């Protein structure tokens, strides 16, 4: 093969791999991105039921009801709007009423949500960032939490 041919083959294969990688990324981006909303945003946005979402806020006091077959329902609130969440399975250790929570799942009806995963916090000092932002937006956040050390 000539020098020019070799160069072309090399550039060609680089272009092919890059094109494949780029199309994979774009394709996956379209299908597997999940948006995060707080309860108020969710109410404003008018999202069609069936969309995959992440929601977050505080678990309302007294709202956790354990049903049969390990089903749990609870309300997530940003003290303006409320979302009812249904979840089946183990709740994370640090799941508490009055604490921040992030859930991923599907919107079943306006204001109702079926979660398939509830995110764990792994440190009692730690508030999920999305939840903190959501609460800040609603003006219910006092930045009184002191830095409690970082945990990897």
Q: Which of 57, 115, 121, 135 binds other proteins (CB under 8 A)?
A: 121
Least distance in Å: CB of 49 to other proteins? 19
Please name the residues in contact with 46: beta carbons below 8 A apart, sequence gap of 6 or more: none
116 binds other proteins (CB under 8 A): no
139 binds other proteins (CB under 8 A): no
Longest distance between any two alpha carbons in the chain, whole Å: 77
Contact present, 108 and 114 (Cβ < 8 Å): yes
CA atoms within 13 A on the CB side of 80: 15
DSSP state of 78: -
128 binds other proteins (CB under 8 A): yes
109 binds other proteins (CB under 8 A): no
Least distance in Å: CB of 105 to other proteins? 12
Q: How far apart are CA 19 and CA 17, in angstroms?
A: 5
129 binds other proteins (CB under 8 A): yes
Q: Kind of pairing, strands 100-109 and 112-119? A: antiparallel
Query: Which residues are 88's β-sheet partners?
Result: 71
Contact set for other proteins, span 6-35 (CB under 8 A)? 6-7, 9-10, 13-14, 17-18, 20-21, 24-25, 27-29, 31-35
Alpha-carbon separation of residue 124 from 39, 67, 116, 147 (angstroms): 23, 26, 23, 12
150 binds other proteins (CB under 8 A): yes
Contact set for other proteins, span 47-66 (CB under 8 A)? 54, 66
Q: Quick one: tokens of 54?
A: 């992440």
Residues at the site binding other proteins, with contacts judged by CB under 8 A: 1, 3, 6-7, 9-10, 13-14, 17-18, 20-21, 24-25, 27-29, 31-37, 54, 66, 69-70, 88-91, 93-94, 102, 104, 119-126, 128-130, 132-133, 147-152
């Amino acid at each position: 093969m000539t020098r020019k041919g070799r160069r072309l083959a090399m550039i060609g294969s680089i272009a092919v791999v890059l094109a494949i990688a780029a199309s994979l990324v774009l394709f996956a981006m379209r299908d597997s991105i999940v948006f995060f909303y707080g309860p108020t945003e969710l109410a404003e946005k008018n999202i069609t039921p069936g969309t995959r979402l992440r929601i977050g806020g505080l678990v309302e006091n007294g709202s956790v009801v354990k049903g049969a077959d390990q089903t749990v329902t609870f309300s997530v609130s940003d003290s303006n709007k409320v979302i009812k969440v249904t979840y089946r399975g183990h709740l994370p250790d640090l799941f508490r009423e009055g604490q921040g929570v992030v859930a991923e799942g599907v919107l079943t009806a306006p204001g109702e949500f079926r979660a398939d995963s509830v995110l764990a916090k792994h440190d009692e000092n730690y508030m999920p960032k999305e939840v903190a932002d959501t609460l800040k937006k609603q003006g219910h956040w006092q930045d009184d939490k002191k830095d409690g050390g970082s945990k990897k």
